[in-house]
Amino acid sequence: MALGKDESRHGMWSSRWLFVLAAAGSAVGLGNIWKFPYVAGENGGGAFVIIYLVCVALVGLPIMMAETLMGREGRHSPINTMRILSQEGRASGFWGVIGWMGVGAGFLILSYYGVIAGWALYYIFEMARGTFDAVTPETAGQVFDDFLANPWLMLLCQTVFMWLTIYIVGRGVIKGLETAIRLFMPLLFVLLLVLLGYGINSGGFQQGLDFMFRFNWSSIDADAWLIAMGQAFFTLSLGMGAIMAYGAYVPRDASITSTVATIAILDTFVAVAAGLAIFPVVFANGLEPGQGPGLMFVTLPLAFGQLPLGAVFGVVFFVLVSFAAITSAISLTEPALAYLVEEYNAKRARVAKSLGVLCWLLGIGTVLSFNAWQDVKFFGLTFFEAVDFVSQNIMLPLGGLLIALFTAYVMPKAIAQSQLGATDGPLWWLWKLLIGLIAPLGVLVVFIVTLFPCAQTLSCFGA
Ligand code: PFF
């Protein structure tokens, strides 16, 4: 196929809106609906939400712009894009580490992402069976505990999810996906609004609102900042090249600033709305907000069980959560897939299958973390928690830090300006301040304080 000068061999989004939808499909996923509410719950609610929003605005947004513009400039998989951009900037090959680490992080994340998405698939089935009709909080909790105690069932669900993902990826993501995203993303929004309406009327809304937006600074320590930063990266799909890979397919005439802002706003809206839908129900039923990963799988079914036609809503909700997860899972495979296709001229479907099998195998560790291996700990963390921590809280922010530094200090100014459609002026300097100073400094400080806790009190320096 003859390519235009400014095109990717993997295909191009047909418009900037399809990039917005695809990137929002990547961003909106389990991180928003499952993870954000429980992480906020475990870290004290209100103050955590605020620092998370700060991380999204000051660190996430500029890095998302950087990834998109790098992808569009390189027009290849992140590994090859970094190679091309390093040459353009006459920089060392070291920067290729961004692409390689991204592939590693995507692989680790997908291994457990598939397991949790499998839970959503299982809940479609349980909802349809009417398991949660007028259920008590205790029974809802029991259904989840029983499921977690059954590794074979979890493995089955994980297998189905991974199979679906690989099937779609292998058949050519962009075309198949564009249709699915157009249909399912709006539906997801509508359902969230319905749930929000339910939350508002559940009798616990004020408490839920207080919990999510109350400034309880005492719960915010260095760890909370690290988790908020990790969550901002995770939810926006940053730091591992997924957005860079998608950026490679963005048409030249699309404005990066406005498209990226739209994606971040959509993503943040879904996370906050999911929290506001879930917490009121938690309080109205006298449940604990900090109950961890089970929040979505215990409280939401409980809520649906009380709603008229709750089983129907529940089925639709978990179908949509599964779709949101699939559109994210696909983007997790894209950097590695695109690289292998470029490097070995390999068939997409074949590459997808091999990657899928490897991820599936690694995912077994996560499955067992909830039952047979629940007492096996690495530095106090289960296998799942360790993979999650390393990929989300270390690899993604580290990748983001390098991306910010590269864009700010290695990429020739003319390239960045032409990609952003910017000229010297206040907006350009604001961008330079964010990408060159605030975003990297933010990531760095959080890192240092986490890795050397004594830095928090300056006691490392004998103070
Ligand atoms: N953003 C997705 C979510 O919030 O569920 C997860 C994710 C997808 C992370 C793709 C990273 C990524 F590259």
Taking only the tens place, the pLDDT of each residue in 235-276 is 999 999 999 999 999 988 899 999 999 999 999 999 989 888
Spans of the chain, pLDDT less than 70: 1-5, 172-177, 180, 450-451, 453-463
> How close is the Cα of 284 to the center of ligand 1, in Å?
31
> How close is the Cα of 19 to the center of ligand 1, in Å?
15
Contacts by 201-205 with C-beta closer than 8 Å and gap 24+?
Answer: 202/280, 202/281, 202/284, 202/303, 203/280, 203/284, 204/279, 204/280, 204/281, 204/282, 204/283, 204/284, 204/285, 205/276, 205/280
| CB-CB contact of 419 with 72 (8 Å) | yes
Residue identifier of the C-alpha nearest atom 11 of ligand 1: 237
Q: Kindly state if the Cβ of 392 falls inside 6 Å of ligand 1.
A: no
Atom of ligand 1 nearest to the CA of 32: 4
Backbone torsions φ then ψ of 315, nearest 5 degrees: -60, -50
Residue identifier of the C-alpha nearest atom 10 of ligand 1: 237
- Tokens 């954000």 correspond to 36
Q: Kindly state if the Cβ of 109 falls inside 6 Å of ligand 1.
A: yes
Q: Kindly state if the Cβ of 30 falls inside 6 Å of ligand 1.
A: yes
What distance in Å separates the CA atoms of residue 118 and residue 356, rounded to the nearest whole number?
A: 14
| CB-CB contact of 425 with 261 (8 Å) | no
Pick from 243, 264, 259, 257: nearest CA to 427: 257
> How close is the Cα of 110 to the center of ligand 1, in Å?
9
What is the predicted pLDDT for the residue at 174? Answer: 64
Q: Is the pTM of this model over 0.75?
A: yes
What distance in Å separates the CA atoms of residue 386 and residue 379, rounded to the nearest whole number?
A: 8
| CB-CB contact of 109 with 392 (8 Å) | yes
> How close is the Cα of 424 to the center of ligand 1, in Å?
34
What distance in Å separates the CA atoms of residue 39 and residue 52, rounded to the nearest whole number?
A: 11
Write the pLDDT tens digit of every residue in 375-402: 999 889 999 999 998 998 889 989 999 9
Q: Kindly state if the Cβ of 237 falls inside 6 Å of ligand 1.
A: yes
User: What's the Cα-to-Cα distance from 20 to each of 211, 256, 273, rounded to whole Å?
Assistant: 31, 10, 20
* Per-residue tokens: 218: 């005492």
* Per-residue tokens: 191: 């359902």
Ligand 1 mutation target, pool 35, 67, 109, most atoms within 8 A of CB = 109
Write the pLDDT tens digit of every residue in 431-440: 999 999 999 9
> How close is the Cα of 281 to the center of ligand 1, in Å?
26
DSSP string, 169-198: HHTTHHHHHHHHHHHHHHHHHHHHHHHHHH
Geometric angle at alpha carbon 346, from 366 and 391, rounded to 5°: 25
What is the predicted pLDDT for the residue at 461? Answer: 47
User: What's the Cα-to-Cα distance from 187 to each of 318, 319, 323, 326, rounded to whole Å?
Assistant: 12, 11, 11, 15
Q: Kindly state if the Cβ of 326 falls inside 6 Å of ligand 1.
A: no
- Tokens 């955590």 correspond to 48
Q: Kindly state if the Cβ of 31 falls inside 6 Å of ligand 1.
A: yes
* Per-residue tokens: 447: 């890192």
Write the pLDDT tens digit of every residue in 188-216: 788 788 878 888 887 888 988 888 887 77
Q: Kindly state if the Cβ of 285 falls inside 6 Å of ligand 1.
A: no
Q: Kindly state if the Cβ of 8 falls inside 6 Å of ligand 1.
A: no
Atom of ligand 1 nearest to the CA of 34: 5
Ligand 1 mutation target, pool 63, 98, 234, 321, most atoms within 8 A of CB = 234
What is the predicted pLDDT for the residue at 324? Answer: 87
Domains of the chain by start residue, with CATH: 16-455 (1.10.4160)
| CB-CB contact of 12 with 81 (8 Å) | no
Q: Kindly state if the Cβ of 68 falls inside 6 Å of ligand 1.
A: no
- Tokens 């690989």 correspond to 166
> How close is the Cα of 23 to the center of ligand 1, in Å?
10
Continuous segment of H or E residues that includes residue 347 = none
DSSP SS3 for 378: strand
User: What's the Cα-to-Cα distance from 77 to each of 81, 247, 333, 416, rounded to whole Å?
Assistant: 6, 10, 11, 19
What distance in Å separates the CA atoms of residue 249 and residue 352, rounded to the nearest whole number?
A: 19
**Cross-strand bridge partners of residue 381:** 378
Q: Kindly state if the Cβ of 86 falls inside 6 Å of ligand 1.
A: no
Write the pLDDT tens digit of every residue in 17-37: 888 988 999 999 999 988 898
Give the chain's end-to-end CA distance (angstroms, integer). Answer: 65
Residue identifier of the C-alpha nearest atom 9 of ligand 1: 237
Task: Give the count of beta carbons closer than 10 Å to the beta carbon of residue 174.
Answer: 17
What distance in Å separates the CA atoms of residue 401 and residue 246, rounded to the nearest whole number?
A: 19
Q: Kindly state if the Cβ of 29 falls inside 6 Å of ligand 1.
A: yes
Q: Kindly state if the Cβ of 165 falls inside 6 Å of ligand 1.
A: no
Residue identifier of the C-alpha nearest atom 13 of ligand 1: 237
Atom of ligand 1 nearest to the CA of 243: 13
Q: Kindly state if the Cβ of 419 falls inside 6 Å of ligand 1.
A: no
| CB-CB contact of 91 with 340 (8 Å) | no
**Cross-strand bridge partners of residue 378:** 381
* Per-residue tokens: 162: 């991974």
Pick from 101, 119, 100: nearest CA to 158: 119
User: Rg of the Cα trace of the chain?
Assistant: 22
Q: Kindly state if the Cβ of 331 falls inside 6 Å of ligand 1.
A: yes
Contacts by 254-258 with C-beta closer than 8 Å and gap 24+?
Answer: 254/15, 254/16, 254/19, 255/16, 255/421, 256/65, 256/68, 256/69, 256/72, 256/419, 256/420, 256/421, 257/65, 257/420, 257/421
Q: Kindly state if the Cβ of 234 falls inside 6 Å of ligand 1.
A: yes
Ligand 1 mutation target, pool 26, 32, 115, 267, most atoms within 8 A of CB = 26
What is the predicted pLDDT for the residue at 40? Answer: 85
